[in-house]
Structure 1
Amino acid sequence: MTDTARGADVHAEGQPSACPSALVFSAADIIAAHDAYLDGVPLGPRELAGWRWIEENHRCNAALWREEDKARRTDVPDAEIVRCKRSIDRYNQQRNDAVEAFDECVLGALAGTVKPQPDALQSSETVGAIIDRLSILSLKIFHMGLQTRRADASEEHVEKCRAKLDVLVRQRRDLATCLDRLLEGLSSGRAIFRIYRQYKMYNDPALNPELYGRKDTPVIAPARDENIGVDGPFALPEHSR
């Protein structure tokens, strides 16, 4: 492998998120944790509160990967594909919930310690969103690496996968640089970001027209409290409250 080390419980409604006291982590820390999880290496407890959401996001992405593979099978009953689709929707919602919960933690930490500069740059991507992309890249690197070691595959297949693996490793390295740059900018007040709510309408029976029109479909509340906010210079946007 040509990169650094290769490679949970869900937010309870009404429970406050545990937030980091400072942005004392780096992209290398994230990548090492992602890869260790995929390698089955147990990790010790993290001092950084809020780290649970990084782990939860990665766990859900790994589960999504497995279910997406299963959903492509053609030798199983349709009921199994339906089950996969239900699982994919559930894990995808939990994955996004974890991203937003961690972003709330980051903003909460910054609100009490950092004052944004008047000319601070607005980042179009949140810390949690970049970490989510790193998680997916770690999964791609892990599984593409497995393809390069397949004894039952042709040499042509292995060489193609090696070339793809090199690209994925380079992409992750570039993205890690972007995350570290954003973290430094946030810590110094030279960068800001807002939480962008995903509002997965298809998962909400009150918003999906294929569901709310059915009498046999109960209307349930969203999984997370959408009114969570952070006051201060790193406040959440009004439209997300």
Structure 2
Amino acid sequence: MLNLSDIPDLHDQLTVAWHREALEAWQRPLDPWSELVARQHLANFELWHTEDEARTPEATDADLARVKRRIDSTNQRRNDLSEQIDQLLLEKLATAGMPNETSPLHSESPGLMIDRLSILALKLYHTREEMERPDAPQGHFERNQERLAILAIQRNDLAACLVRLWEESLSGTRRFKLYRQLKMYNDPSLNPSVYRNS
């Protein structure tokens, strides 16, 4: 459990599987850690494709309203899952008497880093897909080949930073906090556009 170095591979496996087979056929991982990371990645997967729907040129205003509501609810789920990842990691640290409250504070939590890794996995997949597009214009392959190289470096760097943060948190030389997103737009009591019109 809690092998953070395996996260990019898990994201890649899930991304490929979800593009090849119906989501309903997906079997969630059995261990709670992998299942949580997978559910958070699924939220990003759904967001990616829902946002594509919003950019369809023939989308009507009604389509866009429906898609926007779906984006809002999925994004809320994504943020909630990032917080749950951080909570689980902090609970794991607590069993070892960590975090060390005197160690330097890292500005970004693992849950947010894992969220960024999830998005990078989707960008890598779709960039490779664009490289293989048979009807692409001249230069499209080369442009996406450059993008793929940049994305791979960014993901490798971020994955290494995540592992290092976790190792340092376990050793007591660095710490992180759970930062609540406190989204307001989905809360009817905090969104003036909702409570002023209800």
Does residue 19 of structure 2 align to residue 39 of structure 1? no
Tell me, in whole angstroms, the C-alpha distance in 2 between the residues paired with 1:189 and 1:120: 7
**What residue is the counterpart of 1:73 in the other structure?**
56
- 1:168 deviates by 0.3
Q: 1:116 to 1:204 in 2, by over 3 A?
A: closer
Q: What are the Cα deviations for residues 53-92 of structure 1, in whole angstroms up to 9, with x where unaligned?
A: 2111100000000011110122122111111101100110
Q: Say whether residues 1:143 and 2:120 are aligned partners.
A: no
Task: Calculate the aligned-residue CA RMSD, in Å.
Answer: 1.7
Question: CA 1:201–1:45 in structure 2 vs 1: closer, same or farther (change >3 Å)?
Answer: closer
Shift of 1:46: 4.3
* Map of 1:191 onto structure 2: 174
1:25-174 pair list within 5 angstroms: 25-27=3-5, 29-40=6-17, 45-47=29-31, 49-117=32-100, 119-174=102-157
SS of aligned partner of 1:50: helix
AA aligned to 2:35 is: R
Whether 1:201 aligns to 2:184 is yes
Q: CA deviation at 1:26?
A: 2.4
Q: What CA distance in whole angstroms lies between the structure 2 residues aligned with 1:118 and 1:37? A: 36
Conserved? CA contact 2:90–2:99, under 8 Å: no
Instruction: Quote the residue 1:17 is aligned against.
Output: none
Residue deviations 1:190-237 (CA, integer Å, cap 9, x gap): 11111111111011111011111122xxxxxxxxxxxxxxxxxxxxxx
Structure 1 residue aligned with 2:22: none
> Cα offset for 1:121?
1.7
Say if 1:115 and 1:89 are closer, same or farther in 2 by CA, change over 3 A: closer
How many residue pairs get aligned? The number is 191
**Secondary structure of 1:203's partner?**
coil
What residue ranges of structure 1 are gaps of 5+ in the alignment? 1-19, 216-241
Separation (CA, whole Å) in 2 of partners of 1:65 and 1:156: 25
Normalising by structure 1, what TM-score? 0.75
SS of 2:185's equivalent?
helix
Percent of aligned pairs with the same amino acid: 40
**Post-superposition offset of 1:154:** 2.0
Deviation at 1:45, TM superposition (A): 3.5
Question: TM-score, structure 2 length as denominator?
Answer: 0.90
Structure 2 gaps of 5+ residues are 19-25
Return the alpha-carbon distance in structure 2 between the equivalents of residues 118 and 128 of structure 1: 19
- Whether the 8 Å contact between 1:114 and 1:188 is mirrored in structure 2 is no
User: How far does residue 50 in structure 1 lie from its aligned partner after superposition?
Assistant: 3.1
Looking at secondary structure, tell me which structure has more helix per residue: 2
Q: Which sits farther off after the overlay, 125-134 or 106-115?
A: 106-115
